[in-house]
Amino acid sequence: MAGKGNLVKLDVGVLNAEQQEKLRQFKIKTRIDNEKYLRSHPEVEVLVGDFLRDVLLKKPADIQEFASDHFTNPNLHAVIGSNVEGNME
């Protein structure tokens, strides 16, 4: 059902008990897998943190253009690498 603002209302009666349990287990496994990935890749936290810091400091009018410029910066790899090393010390 499409609601206000094109949000979809969840109809919990659509899934039977077995399907709901499988969905719950899938969500748990996905969260665990995501956590393992993030813990094994500390550069992701640095990458996102660096971007958010720049957004909050610079407050760009066009966030999409800003994000595009930020993530296509040819020096991004070096900046993130030095920040990751700085966080590990």
Position 65 scores a pLDDT of 96
Amino acid letter at 13? G
What is the model's pLDDT at position 1? 46
Rounded to 5°, the CA angle 84-85-87 comes to: 65
pLDDT, residue 88, reads: 58
**Encoded tokens for 24:** 């719950």
Q: Where are the domains of the chain?
A: 35-88
Q: Which parts of the chain register pLDDT below 70?
A: 1-6, 12, 85-89
Residue 9 near residue 1, CB atoms below 8 Å: yes
DSSP class of residue 64 equals H
pLDDT of residue 87: 60
